[in-house]
Chain A
Amino acid sequence: MTCRNAGAILSGGYWVTQSRFSFPIIRSAGLNGMLVTFADALSEPSNRATLAFSEAVKTRGWPGVQEVSTSLASVFLRFEHEVLRHEALKDLLWGLLAEQDWQQAALPAGRRLWRVPTVFGTELAPQLAEAADAAGMTEAQAIDSLGSARVRVLTIGFAPGQPYLGPLGAEWNLPRQTELTPQVPVGALVLAISQFVLFATTAPTGWRHVGQTGFRGFQLGAEDPIALRPGDEMIFTPVSRSDYDRYCLDDRHFGGASQEEIPA
């Protein structure tokens, strides 16, 4: 994947964007949280840094750190202020940041590539035409573009097991809608700001519903209720409505999706 972050330039080993900050930055989050941010725009290197740095923080096992999680370009830590003071944690984090160029770090091991049969457009995914129009493409071009993109699980969030996927090309850098779509179903593939979200629940969204899959990212009671992990990759293979129906009938959990290990 290439970096399509038009505003980013490489400077002194760190990605910086056209903002008041030079990255990475460390900021407090609420009373007992700390956020390490690698960029304010999505890029492959900043997400790579996020995933690798998060693993490194977990491996350190600093006393007082209660939770480590990642968002698109940030690592969030929740910690016990009585055990670990804000300034002390910042020092630890700056020390770890200095150890290597995290933008070039290896991705976590054990990642998988998922191929997910997807219906683009039709009444199942009614906003493909609108999204294609906004990206300056025909619907067929949009399906070619979106259906061939190999995207990474950048983070899981909003709802259990729900991935943010990307980055897509800059032509897909569409703003969120100002009005919410009242409801999209489980398995909905929605798009905004050069990312997909693959809905693991039924919910309102400000993103455009461009594809529909039979993939359920969250299945309570399953041995592994959350199917995806940050760092996994996905391809949304265009299929016909009749094939989609057959996949969903045969595989009620993943709608015919296949998975294979990505060699380290």
Chain B
Amino acid sequence: MSGLKTLRIGPLASIQDQGRPGQLQQGVSCSGAADLLALAEGAALLRQGADLAALEMAGIGGLFEATGDLRIALTGAPMQASLDGEPLAWNASHQMQTGQKLEIGAARKGVYGYLHLGGGIDSEVLLGARSAHLMSGLGQLVAAGDLLPCGPDRSREVGLGLLAEDRFQGGALRIVEGFQSELFDAEVRARFAHTAFKRGSRANRMGVEMISDGAGFAAAGQLNILSEVILPGDVQMTGDGKPFVLLREAQTTGGYPRIGTVLPCDLSKVAQAQAGVDLHFTWVSLEEGLALQAKHDAMVKALPSHCKPLLRDPAMMQDLLSYQLVGGVISAQADPFETGDNT
């Protein structure tokens, strides 16, 4: 069986897929990849389903050896990557031969980088998914010596690249009001949207702290409201009125009040914000939020058609030339893939 042997690995790397939606009644968090868009990009680059599992690497990658011929793709936070010492393009798919070594270094921007295998990582399915969810005792961190086995790979195509959406430098987070928004005065909600936040130092796959100057954003009766269902993207205020944006790995219920819910399509931006990055919230109506999400979903659906052959892969050069002659889309002057950083 083909796979990648982990020779060295960063401290917070885990196997992630789209998680476990549909089990809230049993207290099972949705969880899954912190940057779902990166998961979809990897699937598009490898011409496979977005439901397959990949390796999520927080901040830094590792060193891996191929135990058989296999395909890989690299997405999410751009990291230094090389194959037997030769630099590899990020946001691209590549071929690995048996015994070749893949080295992935530190993130140049963003937090979570992803290493995808052709056929996905075929690890054990726990409560319907391969995602590690440490607090729930599901799976564990990937450690040196671990083998990441490939599932059945139905494609052979490699050497594709993708212009990835830049969600690595913070910016605006679109937010809709929810069932607890009215616990916050209109003045507090307005001030919330006019406040410049930075991502705080407390952040993990469950949630991300937002810090700002000035007063907090407290709700009335904050410590005594009933625990209620948590949705990914909910912005929870702790006792001192400090906002945390909850991510997909958050617990299923919580008693701290939530001022609103960040759109699912903006959660990659939250997860990928490094400490100190500027972020702010923009209220949108439910209708606007649905339209923005629909637009994002359409973009994700179209990802496979946006994967184009990398210019520097000689094996694909013939195809690329014919593509350029026919489509005339790729510009030699503005080639995003030359730098190896396609974000």
Contact = CB atoms under 8 A, between A and B. Distances in A.
Interface string A222-243: 0001100010000000000000
Contacts of A41: 226
A35 B229 contact: yes
B169 interface: no
Contacts of A42: 226
A203 B136 CA distance: 9
A201 B137 contact: yes
Interface string A58-98: 00000000111111111010100100001000000000000
A175 B255 CA distance: 11
A12 to B, nearest CB: 22
Nearest to A34: B179
Given A35-B228, A66-B22, 18 more contacts: A29-B179, A31-B261, A31-B293, A35-B179, A67-B21, A72-B226, A72-B228, A73-B226, A74-B228, A81-B290, A157-B251, A159-B252, A160-B28, A162-B27, A176-B223, A176-B239, A176-B255, A226-B27
The 10 A-B residue pairs with the shortest CB-CB distance, nearest first, are A157-B253, A69-B24, A27-B179, A69-B25, A30-B231, A30-B261, A156-B27, A158-B251, A175-B223, A76-B229
Interface in B282-301: 286, 289-290, 293
B178 interface: yes
A75 to B, nearest CB: 9
A13 B29 CA distance: 35
Contact of A68 (B25, B227, B261): B25
Interface string A7-26: 00000000000001000000
Interface residues of B, number: 44
Nearest to B293: A31
A201 B136 CA distance: 7
Contacts of B176: 28, 30-31
A127 interface: no
Contacts of B135: 159, 201, 203
B264 interface: yes
B7 to A, nearest CB: 29
Interface of B: 21-29, 126-127, 135-138, 176, 178-179, 182, 223-229, 231-234, 239-240, 251-255, 261, 263-264, 286, 289-290, 293
B77 to A, nearest CB: 26
B221 to A, nearest CB: 10
24 contacts: A28-B176, A29-B229, A29-B261, A30-B231, A30-B232, A31-B263, A69-B24, A72-B226, A73-B226, A74-B228, A74-B229, A156-B26, A157-B27, A160-B136, A161-B27, A162-B27, A176-B223, A176-B255, A178-B223, A178-B240, A201-B135, A201-B136, A203-B135, A230-B25
B27 A160 contact: yes
B205 to A, nearest CB: 14
A164 B264 CA distance: 28
A164 B252 CA distance: 12
Contacts of B240: 178
Contacts of A28: 176, 178-179, 286
A191 interface: no
B26 A31 contact: no
Nearest to B254: A158
Contacts of B179: 27-29, 35, 37
